[in-house]
Amino acid sequence: MPQKHSSIELTSTLKKVKVPSFVAASDGTVTWGNDAAEKMFGDLRRRPFATVVAPEDVPLVQRQLRRKLEGAPFTDYEVDVFTADGRRRRAEISSVPIENGDDCHAVFGVVLPGKPRERASPAPKLTPRQDQVLQLLGEGASTDQIAAMLHLSKETVRNHIRHILRALGAHSRLEAVALAHRGGLLRDA
């Protein structure tokens, strides 16, 4: 005869797990984090998850949250995050909805951090938008395509590219992409 189990309280157990884990409310505010998450990111409670996600990856994380709120059973994806010591790391996020009746009211997720990003030379000072442009250049996008994707004028894109070339010490887009790749500045597409 199968044994009937009552609801089990796992919060204190999950608090001790060595994999960073969190709960975020439907608005993206972190409501709980375990000891490993606090060690990696600091205390995120009552703060938006976006405070530790690389700016260019925030829209992806927001889309994944929205998918779970709309009924997706889980989502797995990779983003760059910033740790409490300011280092940028690639991380795999696996998350599931926490249901309350038929509605998802929060999300439980785990963060599987990769190694810190190593760079061959000091990172150039690029704004988040310039970094987005650099990533798109690395994917082979043209000025027109970048302008359309980022909802910018062509002239603004050209200005961003000029700054990127100057920051990397490059003389062409191709050279900039090669230097960025060699320096670990390009993320996997």
Distance CA 120, CA 123 (A): 9
Q: At which residue do the structure tokens 């920051």 appear? A: 167
Q: At which residue do the structure tokens 């059973």 appear? A: 73
Judge whether 57 and 96 are in contact, CB under 8 Å: no
| CATH superfamily of the 12-116 domain | PAS domain (3.30.450.20)
Q: What is the pLDDT of residues 110-153, one digit of tens each?
A: 887 776 655 444 457 888 899 899 989 988 899 999 999 899 99
CATH C-level class of 128-182: mainly alpha
DSSP string, 61-124: HHHHHHHHHTT-S-EEEEEEEE-TTS-EEEEEEEEEEEEETTEEEEEEEEEEEEEEPP-SSPPP
Q: What is the pLDDT of residues 4-47, one digit of tens each?
A: 555 567 778 888 888 999 988 888 899 999 999 999 999 989 99
How do the domains of the chain map onto residue ranges? Answer: 12-116, 128-182
